[in-house]
Amino acid sequence: MQTTDSRIRGNGAGTSADAAAYRTRHDRGGLFQRGLLFYALIGVFFGVLLVKSEVVSWFRIQEMFRFHSFHMYGIIGSAIVVAAAAVAIIKRRGLRTLGGHAVVVEPKAWTGVGTRYWAGGITFGLGWALVGACPGPIFALIGGGVTVFVVALAAAVAGTWTYGAIRDRLPH
């Protein structure tokens, strides 16, 4: 009885290890696995939008920070309204993913006076106005041929790395 039990358990463990190995192979597989093609296409869609709406323009960002035009506010504002309506519908109706899983939107944790949000936010804002591009436009500009943004991307990666290196000493 015990042997059978352990064999079953052993089998079970073996199967799940096989499944894990399969999943790892699967995860690292080609563009068609895990729906990666879908993410690529949504990315293309988003990239075209960033360029054609001129969000990637340093001049548009300056115009926004000088409050001289409604353009950027219209884009970000209407994007928020549409996204918020969609998220509200997903939550209220308990919509599930195509794979049948529950949609979980993890809220950002708030601790103390929220130092990381205002300090990090201000830091990001300083960089955004200097280089005139947030991370999405940096990728779009590189693809579009403004190759100097490779340097901006490298600097941004260095910035993220530096944060990773000193985050234990920063107030959050």
Partner 1 sequence: MVERNLAKVEVAGSSPVFRSIARRTDGAKAPPVTVGAVFFCTRFLLFLRLHDGHPCHGIAMIDFLSQPWPWYIAGPLIGLVVPALLLFDGKQFGISSNLRHICAATIPGRLGFFQYDWRREGLWNIVFVVGVAVGGFIGMQVLASPEATIAISERTSTALRGLGIVDQTGFVPAELISWNGLLSGPGLIMVVVGGFLVGFGSRYAGGCTSGHAISGLANLQFASLVAVIGFFAGGLVITFLVLPLIL
Beta carbon of residue 11, minimum distance to partner 1 (angstroms, whole number): 22
Q: How far is the CB of 2 from partner 1 (least distance, A)?
A: 35
Q: Which of 121, 117, 127, 125 is nearest to 155 (CA)?
A: 127
Going from the C-alpha of 151 to that of each of 98, 131, 142, 156, 158, the distances in angstroms are: 38, 11, 10, 9, 10
Residue closer to partner 1 by CB (options 12, 159) is 159
* Nearest partner of 124 among 162, 88, 156, 170, judged by Cα: 156
Joined tokens for residue 147: 């190759």
Which one, 10 or 124, has the nearer CB to partner 1? 124
Coil/strand/helix, residue 16: helix
Residue with smaller CB distance to partner 1, 5 or 168: 168
Closest CA to 72 of 84, 85, 54: 54
What is the nearest approach in angstroms of partner 1 to the Cβ of residue 46? 5
Instruction: Give whichever of 15 and 118 is closer to partner 1, judged by the CB atom.
Output: 118
